[in-house]
Amino acid sequence: MEVELKEMLDEIQSLKQSFPDSSNPSIEKLHFHVKRLADLAKSAPVWRSKVKDMSAEVVDSNPYSRLMALQRMGIVENYKRIREFSVAIVRVGGIGSVAAEMLTRCGIGRLLLYDYDKVELANMNRLCFHPEQAGMTKTDAAVQTLQDINPDVVLESYTLNITTVQGFETFMSSLENKTFRPEKEGSGVDLVLSCVDNYEARMVVNQACNELNQTWMESGVSEDAVSGHIQLLIPGETACFACAPPSVVASGVDERTLKREGVCAASFPTTMGVVAGLLVQNTLKYLLKFGHVSPFQGYNSLKDYFPTMEMRPNPQCSNAACLERQKEYLLAKPARDAAKAKMEAEVLLVAEGPLHADNEWNISVVNDREIDAKDTASLDTLPEGLTRELPSADEFLELPASGPAEMCVDDLEELKKQLEALNAD
Ligand SMILES: [Zn+2]
């Protein structure tokens, strides 16, 4: 834009010179307006351009240098792989919008966003959305914000309700679409993040993921906004949402009764931010294969309590697709055990060799107890010619038990005499 306006100014300048009388009022007016636009364009914010290759180069202009440092520090083996992954986020509300922004800033390959709601001013207690976006669909508003933050991310916006027949069909076909990475096994996405706020929608995500054998993560915040949870669901391997819904497990309450009609649920950007942070942290650990992915992570903000637990699938689950996946998981057990044994044998083989072939600094490992014994001995025997200024603590204990008491009585007698002498004056 700035370049085009400069060209236009040059053209007006040559036009002005082509007239015998160079002070033509119409041309002067045009020159004034274009110059003003050029000045405005100069002060406009600079938009980030796309980055073709993720680099670890430490320069101020590299948006990935701090993320690539995770690789340099040995936390993540290959951070660049993040660009291969597709993550679907169902509902772009308090948790979903924050999770989408975090993944965008981390440079995820592709994000699929699903929501049917519009941005309202009542949403401004949450993160991500801006007041000027009120009235826009949440998916379009999120895409608008996210593409400015990181234009490298492929963003897909689905304004639909997955609990309707039509919405569910589109949801399923979008998850199956493999255009982004045709060679990928299974569905077209690597992980589905459920950020919905009701039982019915969770059951729909559960149904889709069980049918597609799709790993997903569940998240939620309580109605009073002070606690939340995330849960990893691998069809056949862990409990599905129909096997054991978390709140039913925790309190024995039917979750369908939790979201009450006409009750305005509280929402804290802090609790939402913590739960979204836990969700995306575990998403990154799952995708980039580092650390431990929590099977279930609870969060009680009033007590700062983070309970974790594992949930096995229920062989009596009411979901037919879940039972199907459980059967497949059991059938694949011998192959899984063989692969695990092979991997353990390889690890053992590596462990038997020297930890570091070269020992440039001649570092040797010694027994802790030997050091302790040596230190104690050196405390007792000082080098020749040195004496302690203060007695050691042990020497105080050796004083006769009656000593301090007698001294105390003597001191009191002395104090009494001094007081009497003062009174006498
Ligand atoms: Zn199940």
Model confidence pLDDT, tens digit, residues 102-152: 999 999 999 999 999 999 888 887 778 889 999 999 999 999 999 999 999
Bridge-based pairing of strands 296-300 and 154-159 is unpaired
For residue 11, report the distance from its CA to the centre of ligand 1, in Å. 71
For residue 25, report the distance from its CA to the centre of ligand 1, in Å. 79
pLDDT tens digits along 263-287: 667 788 899 999 999 999 999 999 9
| Residues 279 and 98 sit within 8 Å (Cβ to Cβ) | no
pLDDT mean over 53-62: 84
Share the mean pLDDT of the chain: 83
| Residues 184 and 178 sit within 8 Å (Cβ to Cβ) | yes
Q: Which residues are catalytic?
A: 264
Residue 344 above 70 pLDDT?
yes
Output the six-digit token pair for 252. Answer: 């024995």
| Residues 130 and 304 sit within 8 Å (Cβ to Cβ) | no
* Selection from 259, 52, 254, 238 nearest residue 151 by Cα: 52
* Selection from 193, 192, 195 nearest residue 221 by Cα: 195
For residue 199, report the distance from its CA to the centre of ligand 1, in Å. 15
Please state whether the predicted TM-score (pTM) of the whole model is above 0.85: no
Residue with tokens 């942290």: 281
For residue 320, report the distance from its CA to the centre of ligand 1, in Å. 8
Residue 160 above 70 pLDDT?
yes
* Selection from 318, 362, 53, 55 nearest residue 206 by Cα: 318
For residue 179, report the distance from its CA to the centre of ligand 1, in Å. 30
